[in-house]
Chains A and B, each alone.
Chain A
Amino acid sequence: NAGVTQTPKFQVLKTGQSMTLQCAQDMNHEYMSWYRQDPGMGLRLIHYSVGAGITDQGEVPNGYNVSRSTTEDFPLRLLSAAPSQTSVYFCASRQGRTEAFFGQGTRLTVV
């Protein structure tokens, strides 16, 4: 099992550009989520999904969209990148109340 796979690992965007961060898991987990990590702020929840076709907002959803068409994939779309979205992004999945498995992260810089 590969676990949770995120692509790309690094990305530089210009302000106003859009892009999609990919996340895929092969553990058949129902629950998937996206976090951003900024210094001193911990991991903040952007969006999450409790199953295919069901998504909801987390703490910091503005500027991001998600969809969950399959159990395996949970892409995060940046609609119009802003410097404030420079961060490290983590995708995670879990089943029920068990541990969360994280991807390797995507380091995004918006210039």
Chain B
Amino acid sequence: GQQVMQIPQYQHVQEGEDFTTYCNSSTTLSNIQWYKQRPGGHPVFLIQLVKSGEVKKQKRLTFQFGEAKKNSSLHITATQTTDVGTYFCAGKSGGYQKVTFGTGTKLQVIP
């Protein structure tokens, strides 16, 4: 079945440093979504990418969908303590209704 892996699993950064998490799928995705989960909370939708090579920005966050639509990345510029949490990618293949979540990257920001 479809597998979605994320690296790294954990990342500690100093406040102000940049952060990137990578998402890799075993199959071609029709779209990819990114979610953020604060400690003790539930996943909250950030963005969806659909087109090959698509890049979207939300303030300090930059999301990219790979040309082959099998990988994606989330880059945060100048991290802040409010960025703390676990970031998940989630992908859907073809006509299947199932959405597969990645393993997540837990970000800790040291003030």
The prevalent SS among residues of A at the interface is strand
* A93 → chain B closest CB, angstroms: 12
The yes or no answer to B99 lying at the interface (CB within 8 A) is: yes
* B28 → chain A closest CB, angstroms: 15
B42 adjacent to A50 (CB under 8 Å):
no
Bitwise, A29-64 to B at CB < 8 A (1) or not (0) is 001010100001111110010100000101100000
Q: A16-24, A68-76, A98-106: which one contacts chain B?
A: A98-106
Question: A40 CA to B92 CA in the complex, in Å?
Answer: 21
The prevalent SS among residues of B at the interface is strand
The yes or no answer to B52 lying at the interface (CB within 8 A) is: no
Question: A105 CA to B43 CA in the complex, in Å?
Answer: 10
* B contact residues, total (Cβ < 8 Å): 24
B50 closest partner in A (C-beta): A97
Q: A44: which B residues are within 8 A, CB to CB?
A: 101
Which has the most chain A C-beta neighbours within 10 Å: B48, B92, B98, B100? B98
A104 adjacent to B97 (CB under 8 Å):
no
B42 adjacent to A102 (CB under 8 Å):
yes
Given A59-B1, A97-B92: A104 and B42 within 8 A (CB)?
Answer: yes
Q: Which chain A residues have a beta carbon within 8 Å of chain B's beta carbons?
A: 31, 33, 35, 40-45, 48, 50, 56, 58-59, 90, 92, 97-105
Q: Which chain B residues have a beta carbon within 8 Å of chain A's beta carbons?
A: 1, 6, 9, 30-31, 33, 35, 41-45, 48, 88, 90, 92, 97-104
